[in-house]
């Protein structure tokens, strides 16, 4: 009994953290739960969209069999998977917390704790969303920003720099927002608009985000 407001649209969503291997048993990762991306995927699917969810390692379970879930581990794998589908999508939503850096080399064997100090050289990962922005032909692109200072300015800067149509800002200063929580408090920016929302469950935040996307693409 859901209104099929995204019927005929293909939506690609990135979610969760990425894990960057150090050796066969260790990695660099982060605390992203993947909840926001899974909520967005389920809501977009309810609205009739064809949904491709590309997720890093999370404990989230996808309840909707219609969502096409692709599990990846590292940023480079996520980038590759995104571009398998990029030409076919109408809307891209990047909610993944992609690791900014990855170890330059992955040790073949488990690193031994012999020395008192250990240095791991890190190399910048590809920016998946920025690459999507550079290759944009018709896709409507949505990014997320998690900022601790100059939030609005930084969010708007990313909108420009990554060639996005819309950015969702969640502030770490707000109690219950961001990352591991089941709730989120967001502001949405486009080139010309700004809208602030109340603290709510990530399922409800997903509805707000997709309502806003629909208001933009149906303009």
Which residues from 150-189 bind ligand C5P, rule CB under 6 A? 158
Which of 125, 139, 171, 183 is the binder for ligand C5P (CB under 6 A)? 125
Residue 127 known to bind ligand: yes
Residue 126 known to bind ligand: yes
Residue 208, both tokens: 């707000």
With binding defined as CB under 6 A, does residue 143 bind ligand C5P? Answer: yes
Find tokens 């996520």 and name the residue.
78
Closer Cβ to ligand C5P, 40 or 94, answer by number: 94
Residue 158 known to bind ligand: yes
Which of 19, 144, 189, 212 is the binder for ligand C5P (CB under 6 A)? 144
Q: Alpha-carbon distance 95 to 40, whole Å?
A: 9
With binding defined as CB under 6 A, does residue 94 bind ligand C5P? Answer: yes
Binding residues for CTP, by number, are: 100, 110, 126-129, 144, 158, 162
Binding site for ligand C5P (CB under 6 A): 14, 75, 94-96, 98, 125, 127-129, 143-145, 158
């Amino acid at each position: 009994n859901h209104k099929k407001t995204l019927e005929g649209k293909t939506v690609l969503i990135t979610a969760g953290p990425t894990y960057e291997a150090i050796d066969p048993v260790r990695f660099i990762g982060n605390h992203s739960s993947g909840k926001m991306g899974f909520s967005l995927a389920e809501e977009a699917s309810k609205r009739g969209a064809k949904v491709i969810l590309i997720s890093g390692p999370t404990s989230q379970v996808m309840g909707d069999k219609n969502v096409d879930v692709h599990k990846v581990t590292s940023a480079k794998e996520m980038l590759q998977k995104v571009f398998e589908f990029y030409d076919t999508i109408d809307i891209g939503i990047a909610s993944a917390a992609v690791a900014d850096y990855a170890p330059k080399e992955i040790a073949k064997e488990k690193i031994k704790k012999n020395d008192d100090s250990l240095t791991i050289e890190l190399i910048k990962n590809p920016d998946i969303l920025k690459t999507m922005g550079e290759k944009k032909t018709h896709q409507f692109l949505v990014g997320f920003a998690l900022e601790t200072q100059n939030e609005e300015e930084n969010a708007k800067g990313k909108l420009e720099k990554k060639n996005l149509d819309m950015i969702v800002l969640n502030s770490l200063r707000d109690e219950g927002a961001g990352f591991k929580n089941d709730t989120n408090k967001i502001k949405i920016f486009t080139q010309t608009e700004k809208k602030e929302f109340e603290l709510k469950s990530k399922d409800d935040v997903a509805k707000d985000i997709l309502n806003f996307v629909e208001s933009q693409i149906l303009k």
